[in-house]
Amino acid sequence: MLTINEINVFYGNIQALKGVSLEVNEGEIVTLIGANGAGKSTLLKTVSGLLKPKQGTIEFQGKTIAGKAAQTIVKAGISHVPEGRRVFSNMSVEENLDLGAYLRKDHKAVAEDKERIFKIFPILLERRKQLSGTLSGGEQQMLAMGRAIMARPKLLLLDEPSMGLAPLMVKTIFHTIEEIRKEGTTILLVEQNAHMALSIADRAYVIETGHVVLSGLAKDLQEAEQVKAAYLGGL
């Protein structure tokens, strides 16, 4: 579904991604793990059109998307849930969800999808008229994910969905990621909680200082000594 080949991405003169290649197959959860500043979020921003690669190619369902405008990439079927949630705090929960569907014209299906979001996240139904800025961190993460799903993406990019959340909420969010995949959405997940990410992913890539240094089946990487030592606390 997604093929990234030898991309180089810069912030000014600083090279953030150095010849990164990876692929995501339809129906998979693929996770990127690595330390802060390794280039994980940069990669997601490049896929979603917020950054442009200096070299390399990105193809989505066989079509080139590298360097395309972000709204074109959303239309193609990619939604991005950025790090830090970024909900529209002065708008209600329901208004945030409606914004997620702003490119869609199928109003009946939009209403059905909103009801589906409320089934996945019942707390959002209770809070539907509440200003999103008054929600807890976990509720805001649910809203950010729900808003992205409202675009009916084929590929969902999730950037640090567990950041700053209580352990119980982290479990809820990861369970929901698995449910979203079961409903047919492919997921590329950036996550510092490597243990949780590897437990739900099919495959994983380890990124260090802008390079992919390791890749393979998630269950194999969970057992790799290099990964255990660096990201799983030596478990």
Give tens-digit pLDDT for 44-101.
Answer: 999 999 999 999 999 999 999 998 999 899 999 999 988 877 888 889 999 999 988 8
DSSP string for residues in 146-214: HHHHTT--SEEEEE-TTTT--HHHHHHHHHHHHHHHHTT-EEEEE-S-HHHHHHH-SEEEEEETTEEEE
Domains for the chain: give ranges and CATH numbers.
Answer: 2-83+148-231 (3.40.50.300)
What residues have CB less than 8 Å from 126, skipping those under 6 apart? Answer: none
Of the candidate ranges 11-15, 48-52, 137-141, the one whose mean pLDDT is the lowest: 137-141
According to the model, what pLDDT value does residue 234 have?
53
The average pLDDT across 141-148 equals 90
According to the model, what pLDDT value does residue 107 have?
85
According to the model, what pLDDT value does residue 204 have?
97
Q: Tell me the C-alpha to C-alpha distance, in Å, between residue 204 and each of 29, 121, 188.
A: 9, 27, 10
Tokens of 171: 């479990």
Output b/e per residue, 69-91; b: 16+ Cβ within 10 A: eeeebbebbbbbbbeebebeeee
Read off the pLDDT of residues 181-209 as tens digits, 9 standing for 90 and up.
998 999 999 998 899 999 999 999 999 99
Read off the pLDDT of residues 68-81 as tens digits, 9 standing for 90 and up.
999 899 999 999 98
User: Judging by DSSP bridges, how do beta strands 203-208 and 211-217 pair with one another?
Assistant: antiparallel
Q: Would you put residue 190 in left (φ > 0), alpha (ψ -120 to 50) or beta?
A: beta
According to the model, what pLDDT value does residue 190 have?
95
Measured CA to CA, the distance from residue 194 to residue 190 in angstroms comes to 9
Place of tokens 């606390």: 233
| Own/partner long-range contacts of 8-14 (Cβ < 8 Å, ≥24 apart) | 8/53, 8/54, 8/55, 8/56, 9/39, 9/42, 9/43, 9/46, 9/51, 9/52, 9/53, 9/54, 10/54, 11/42
Which residues pair with residue 167 across a beta bridge? none
